[in-house]
């Protein structure tokens, strides 16, 4: 799957991923109304609203983007009905040949991590049958529990030709509280980065590993160091746009081949219609506003790397 | 909710929690068969099997135990149908007045962490209505992202009188790779423990905070240090029994009042019928075997603290 992701990024010349993190208040009134008219102001109605919202954005952008990254928390908050919308979104994006990165940030140990891996990027056995529960192409994984927590994901990914992105340095303000702590004079995120590189070495696609890393756009100096520590690691970069990361800061995340990083934007794309810059589209044409925001983002990033 | 948990532990003289982590192969053949006869060898059938298994164990132990800890990964691996079984298990345990600790190990930032919090220990808004999606009493939280990731959970818990247990030192072998790294001569888990104590100070129940910690039974020396760093923190202790932690090692996790810790056992209780010690019950009476295993565990622990 890492080969497919790299190929699509090259072909589209678009090292970007659209974060499908639909807060209900991002969903235009007319989409909410239609869903609530049909299902009431219920969890089912909320699921329907975010699913229709996602579908329209996928339809309007699928020829431009290599990948989407649905953030499962935004669906899980609506319980079972929200998770049904997550599943529909994953399946629909895949039907449009878009790579799906499930932003699930799971992490546990042994058989428990295996269960998450099976549920999201693998197959589960029920008696004599096997099923594919959520079926993302990649998922994000939290490394706090060490190799025991990450290895079960890698094992399933190896079998299924899928992949993971391990949190190394996150984009938020307080990420430094633990991630930046100095261990023998070096920040912890560098140590985590070394583990990611080591895990990845044995799990390579053609040119990059299917064990990737998450490194926030808001810390370019750290991105530079981590790029060197993890030369064969694809870096998923959150924090561009709404969170403050600028395209001019992103060069260090890429290798000289122009590859090695994929930049996420969520709010900046999916709620583009609410920005002054795209207000002319109007809420009715929110998906077209998202399309234009993707075009602008790709231009912004590719002209800076 | 921390007050209720402490009261129940005192009343039952049982500082234990039963981990409802049903691997499908823990579920006795006759329970699986009944579920598959009704729903086929499907995800729905798997969900039904683990739900019926849980229900029988809850019925057989509910007068002895203050809390259960369903591990969501074991349900999530069966997709939507598995998560329905999770929800049913949570609701049923609560109907029996058992405190439910959702072992979800979630952790993200800002509005995303809020979404998880709302989904698991809070209420979600849909138009003019509010809903309670999963409705656990406590959840476990991963601290790798720092205060930004934990605070949204605490805020929701404050509003809803619920609580969290933050991963500090986990019970697995490779937990030391990052958690034990020395920062200014002290292991990272101590720093995390200090944050937990600090977060907890401002969020107190009557005698303990509703910001708890997870510290594995497999590292008693570390438990001793962490107990001192976090005197008002309830410690959830995994790793007893099947993972190798012994009751004689558990004393350091408790305060002099005999409180302050709650010890989890999963496999050792729910799959007791498969142990030689409880084989006499037979698979047909698996829930009675679990009941006896709870009685033995409570005796083992209370005689050692």
B263-292 average pLDDT score: 97
Q: Which residue do the tokens 């370019």 mark? A: A220
Residues in chain B closer than 8 A to A144 (CB atoms):
142-144, 167, 170, 178-179
For residue B104, give the chain A residue with the closest CA: A106
- Two tokens, residue B263: 């010890």
Kindly list the catalytic residues of A: 105
CB contact under 8 A, A115 and B73: yes
Residues in chain A closer than 8 A to B198 (CB atoms):
none
Mean pLDDT of chain A: 96
Which pLDDT tens digit goes with each residue over A13-55? 999 999 999 999 999 999 999 999 999 999 999 999 999 999 9
Please tell me whether residue A181 adopts helix, strand or coil conformation. coil
Which helix (H) or strand (E) covers residue A211, if one does? strand A211-215
Q: Residue A209 has what DSSP assignment?
A: B
Which helix (H) or strand (E) covers residue A100, if one does? strand A99-106
Share of chain A above pLDDT 90, in %: 95
- Determine contact, residues B47/B85, Cβ cutoff 8 Å: yes
pLDDT at A17: 98
pLDDT at A305: 85
Look up the pTM and report it.
Answer: 0.97
Please tell me whether residue A206 adopts helix, strand or coil conformation. coil
Which residues of chain A from 161 to 180 reach within 8 Å of chain B, CB to CB? Answer: 167, 170-179
Residues in chain A closer than 8 A to B149 (CB atoms):
172, 174
> b/e string for A248-269 if b means 16 or more Cβ within 10 A?
ebbebbbbeeebbbbbbbbbbb
Which helix (H) or strand (E) covers residue A103, if one does? strand A99-106
More confident residue, A248 or B56: B56
The CATH number of domain B2-302, selected from 3.20.20.70, 1.10.1740.10, 3.40.50.150, 3.40.720.10: 3.20.20.70
Q: Residue A252 has what DSSP assignment?
A: G
Find the radius of gyration of the CA atoms of chain B: 19
| Nearest-angstrom CA–CA distance, B141 and A119 | 20
Residue among B146, B175, B182 minimizing CB distance to A183: B182
| Nearest-angstrom CA–CA distance, A99 and A105 | 17
Cα torsion angle, B10, B14, B16, B19, sign: negative
Q: How many residues does chain B have?
A: 305
Which pLDDT tens digit goes with each residue over A238-297? 989 877 778 899 999 999 999 999 999 999 999 999 999 999 999 999 999 999 999 999
DSSP state string for chain B: -HHHHHHHHHHHT--EEEEE---GGGS-HHHHHHHHHHH-SSHHHHHHHHHHHHHHHHHHHTTT-SEEEEBTHHHHTTHHHHHHHHHHHHHHHHHTT-EEEEEEEE---HHHHHHHHHHHHS-EEETTEEE-SS--SEEEE--TT-HHHHHHHHHHHHHHT-EEEEEEE-SSGGGHHHHT-EETTEEHHHHHHHHHHHHHHTSB-SSSBSEEEEE-TT-HHHHHHHHHH-TT--EEE--BGGGSB-GGG-GGGS-TTS-SEEEEESHHHHTGGGSGGGGGGTGGGHHHHHHHHHHHHHHHHHTT-
- Determine contact, residues A65/A17, Cβ cutoff 8 Å: yes
Residue among A46, A105, A146 minimizing CB distance to B178: A146
The shortest C-alpha distance from B180 to chain A (Å) reads 10
Share of chain B above pLDDT 90, in %: 95
- Two tokens, residue A293: 């925001």
Does B233 lie at the interface with A, CB-CB under 8 angstroms? no
pLDDT at A245: 79
pLDDT at B241: 83
Does residue B242 carry a pLDDT above 80?
Answer: no
- Two tokens, residue B53: 């298994």
| Nearest-angstrom CA–CA distance, B211 and B188 | 19
Does B279 lie at the interface with A, CB-CB under 8 angstroms? no
pLDDT at B122: 98
| Nearest-angstrom CA–CA distance, B215 and B143 | 13
Residues in chain B closer than 8 A to A172 (CB atoms):
109-110, 145-146, 148-149
pLDDT at A244: 78
CB atoms near residue A39 (< 10 Å): 17
| Nearest-angstrom CA–CA distance, A102 and A59 | 19
Local confidence band at B101 (pLDDT 50, 70, 90 cut-offs): very high
Question: What residue segments make up the domains of chain A, in order of their start?
Answer: 2-302
CB contact under 8 A, A124 and B46: yes
Residue among A71, A128, A145 minimizing CB distance to B41: A128
Residue in A232, A149, A170 with CA at minimum distance from that of residue A197: A232
B58-71 average pLDDT score: 98
For residue B145, give the chain A residue with the closest CA: A175
Which residues of chain A from 5 to 34 reach within 8 Å of chain B, CB to CB? Answer: 21, 23-24, 32
Residues in chain A closer than 8 A to B181 (CB atoms):
181, 183, 188, 191
Residue in B196, B187, B232 with CA at minimum distance from that of residue B214: B196
Q: Which residue do the tokens 């558990």 mark? A: B250
Does residue B243 carry a pLDDT above 90?
Answer: no
Please tell me whether residue A182 adopts helix, strand or coil conformation. strand
pLDDT at B245: 80
Which pLDDT tens digit goes with each residue over A115-169? 999 999 999 999 999 999 999 999 999 999 999 999 999 999 999 999 999 999 9
- Determine contact, residues B217/B243, Cβ cutoff 8 Å: yes
Question: Which residues on adjacent β-strands are paired with residue B4?
Answer: none
Does residue B246 carry a pLDDT above 90?
Answer: no
Which helix (H) or strand (E) covers residue A225, if one does? helix A220-229
Local confidence band at B231 (pLDDT 50, 70, 90 cut-offs): very high
A221-239 average pLDDT score: 96
Residue pairs spanning A and B at CB distance below 8 A: 219
A178-202 average pLDDT score: 96
The shortest C-alpha distance from A75 to chain B (Å) reads 8
Does residue B5 carry a pLDDT above 80?
Answer: yes
């Amino acid at each position: 799957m890492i080969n497919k992701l790299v190929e699509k990024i090259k072909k589209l010349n678009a090292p970007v991923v659209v974060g499908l993190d639909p807060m209900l208040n991002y969903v235009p009134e007319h989409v909410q109304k239609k869903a609530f008219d049909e299902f009431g102001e219920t969890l089912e109605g909320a699921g329907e609203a975010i699913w229709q919202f996602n579908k329209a954005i996928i339809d309007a952008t699928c020829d431009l983007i290599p990948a989407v990254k649905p953030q499962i928390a935004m669906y899980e908050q609506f319980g079972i009905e929200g998770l049904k919308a997550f599943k529909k979104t994953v399946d629909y994006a895949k039907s449009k040949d878009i790579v799906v990165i499930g932003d699930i940030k799971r992490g546990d140990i042994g058989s428990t991590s295996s269960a998450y891996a099976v549920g999201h990027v693998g197959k589960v056995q029920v008696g004599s049958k096997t099923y594919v529960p959520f079926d993302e192409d990649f998922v994000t994984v939290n490394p706090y529990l060490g190799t025991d927590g990450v290895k079960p994901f890698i094992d399933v990914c190896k079998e299924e030709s899928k992949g993971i992105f391990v949190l190394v340095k996150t984009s938020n303000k307080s990420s430094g509280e633990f991630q930046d702590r100095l261990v023998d004079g070096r920040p912890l995120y560098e140590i985590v980065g070394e583990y990611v590189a080591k895990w990845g070495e044995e799990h390579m696609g053609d040119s990059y590993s299917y064990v990737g890393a998450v490194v926030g756009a808001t810390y370019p100096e750290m991105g530079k160091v981590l790029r060197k520590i993890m030369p064969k690691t694809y870096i998923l970069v959150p924090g561009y746009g709404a969170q403050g990361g600028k395209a001019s800061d992103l060069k260090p995340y890429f290798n000289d081949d122009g590859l090695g990083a994929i930049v996420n934007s969520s709010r900046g794309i999916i709620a583009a219609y609410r920005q002054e810059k795209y207000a002319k589209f109007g809420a009715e044409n929110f998906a077209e506003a998202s399309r234009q925001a993707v075009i602008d983002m790709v231009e912004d990033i590719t002209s800076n790397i």
